[in-house]
């Protein structure tokens, strides 16, 4: 059995890399596949449904069963989904496969952070930030491969499937030497957590955070081309720089965030992200746009990892369950914020619709700031 913390931590980072690949594959390969905007929307919706169902189930089950066993199952599901995605041309069949891709990456999202909190008792924020750095790294690599290198997208997924199968085999031999703890029945845990104001506030903040981060990823090239005069290549470079800002920020904030600073840093990042989203989307910076894009990426980079770390530490008796509940907000944010943007842009303008980003940051900042006493209370029960 493998009990080495470094090996287990490394395997977590690798799973999150392939989470990033799975979360980005439609955006990166849609034109290669030949999908229409309508089909892309359906694909992303079905993927998020699979993600939502999986993340809460995997998180809750992870509080009572060995987390590596759950990751083994999730890896097999994801590997098979990668292997078969668009092997046949049937859209309905591939829609079903996309559901299982969502379920596979939802398993990773629901378990890995909780597993890291189980095996690390110091610098938890750093490990969670680096874990989510690899999500961004996976998204960045699949985008670079498919957009700039014109790599065969089917081959890239087949290769990914092989590595994910190897991950599954690794998890067969992993055992977590966690501290023994008494865990309440699932219904008791869920009922307790949904009555906690802190959980509700973090849930809303997660929705807004994912809207800020992934919504900006989805709209960045369109914004730069339609409102700032960028071309196909320079707009994609802007997206790469935004993702690079997120990646760098996750490492830097993780290194410099101590446990007692987590909530304060969440507030600061929401404040700065509101400011820089406004500066980015409503001022034409010309050649300096890349600098503003990078800084904006830095400001949104660690919001999700820090929210996850805070929730996991505050409700340490039921880490998997609370993270599963909060991470449902990832899928909701991935659907809700882009939907609002699409409605406003259709009946108003693209420029008006971009206000959803600074507004999301401002709403989160105000909710957390005016309820800060709830977050500074010690203990979860």
Domains of the chain, residue spans: 1-177, 193-370
Q: Structure tokens of 221?
A: 């090239």
* pLDDT greater than 60 at residue 179: no
Domain covering 193-370, topology: Growth Hormone; Chain: A; (1.20.1250)
Q: Which residue has the tokens 């505050």?
A: 314
Angle between helices 91-119 and 67-84 (to 10 degrees): 150
Helix or strand (DSSP H, E) at 364: helix 356-369
CA separation for the pair 374, 195 (Å, rounded): 13
Contacts with 279 (C-beta within 8 Å, 6 or more apart), sequence order: 285, 292, 296
What whole-number distance in Å separates Cα of residue 209 and Cα of residue 305? 10
CA distances from 25 to 40, 55, 239, 290, 380 (A): 11, 19, 15, 25, 38
Is-contact 54 319, C-beta < 8 A? no
pLDDT 10s digits, 17-39: 988 888 777 766 766 677 776 78
User: CA-CA distances (angstroms) from residue 19 to 1, 25, 104, 142, 168?
Assistant: 25, 10, 8, 11, 14
Express each pLDDT in 291-345 by its tens digit.
Answer: 999 999 999 999 999 999 999 989 988 888 899 999 999 888 877 887 788 788 8
pTM over 0.75: yes
Matching residue, tokens 């849930």: 203
**Residue 151 CB partners (closer than 8 Å, separation 6+):** 145
- Tens digit of each residue's pLDDT (9 = 90 or more) over 70-121: 999 999 999 999 999 988 889 899 999 999 999 999 999 999 998 998 888 8
Give which of 134, 136, 113 is closest to 324, Cα–Cα. 113
Query: How much is the pLDDT for 178?
Result: 55
Q: How far apart are CA 324 and CA 314, in angstroms?
A: 14
193-370 shares the fold of 1-177: yes
Positive or negative: CA dihedral 19, 160, 87, 89: positive
Fold of 1-177: Growth Hormone; Chain: A; (1.20.1250)
Tokens read off for 328: 């449902």
Per-residue pLDDT reduced to its tens digit, 221-253: 888 888 898 887 788 788 889 988 998 998 888
Comparing CA positions, the residue from 136, 148, 272 lying closest to residue 210 is: 136
Mean pLDDT, the chain, integer: 86
According to the model, what pLDDT value does residue 380 have? 45
């Amino acid at each position: 059995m493998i009990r080495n913390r470094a090996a287990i931590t490394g395997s977590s980072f690798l799973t999150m890399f392939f989470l990033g690949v799975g979360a980005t594959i439609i955006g990166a390969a849609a034109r290669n596949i030949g999908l229409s905007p309508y089909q892309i929307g359906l694909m992303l919706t079905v993927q998020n449904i699979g993600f939502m169902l999986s993340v809460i189930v995997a998180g809750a089950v992870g509080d009572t069963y060995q987390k590596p066993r759950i990751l083994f199952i999730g890896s097999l599901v994801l590997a098979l989904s990668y292997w078969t995605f668009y092997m046949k041309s049937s859209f309905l069949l591939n829609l079903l496969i996309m559901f299982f891709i969502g379920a596979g990456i939802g398993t990773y999202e629901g378990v890995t952070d909780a597993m890291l909190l189980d095996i690390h008792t110091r610098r938890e924020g750093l490990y969670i930030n680096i874990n989510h750095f690899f999500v961004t790294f996976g998204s960045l690599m699949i985008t670079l491969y498919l957009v700039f290198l014109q790599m065969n997208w089917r081959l890239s997924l087949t290769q990914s499937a092989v590595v994910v199968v190897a991950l599954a085999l690794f998890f067969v031999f992993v055992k977590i030497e966690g501290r023994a703890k008494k865990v309440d029945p699932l219904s008791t845990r869920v009922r307790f957590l949904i009555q906690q104001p802190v959980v509700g506030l973090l849930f809303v903040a997660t929705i807004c955070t994912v809207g800020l981060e992934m919504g900006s990823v989805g709209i960045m090239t369109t914004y730069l081309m339609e409102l700032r005069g960028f071309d196909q290549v320079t707009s994609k470079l802007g997206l790469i720089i935004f993702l690079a800002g997120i990646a760098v920020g996750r490492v830097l904030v993780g290194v410099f965030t101590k446990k007692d600073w987590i909530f304060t840093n969440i507030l600061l990042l929401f404040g700065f992200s509101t400011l820089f989203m406004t500066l980015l989307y409503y001022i034409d910076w010309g050649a300096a746009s890349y600098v503003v894009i990078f800084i904006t990426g830095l400001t949104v980079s660690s919001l999700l990892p820090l929210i996850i770390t805070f929730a996991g530490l505050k409700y340490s008796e039921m880490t998997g369950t609370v993270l599963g509940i909060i991470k449902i907000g990832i899928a909701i944010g991935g659907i809700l914020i882009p939907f609002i943007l699409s409605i406003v842009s259709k009946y108003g303008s693209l420029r008006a619709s971009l206000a959803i980003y600074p507004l999301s940051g401002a709403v989160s900042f105000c909710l957390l700031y005016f309820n800060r006493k709830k977050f500074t209370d010690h203990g979860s029960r």
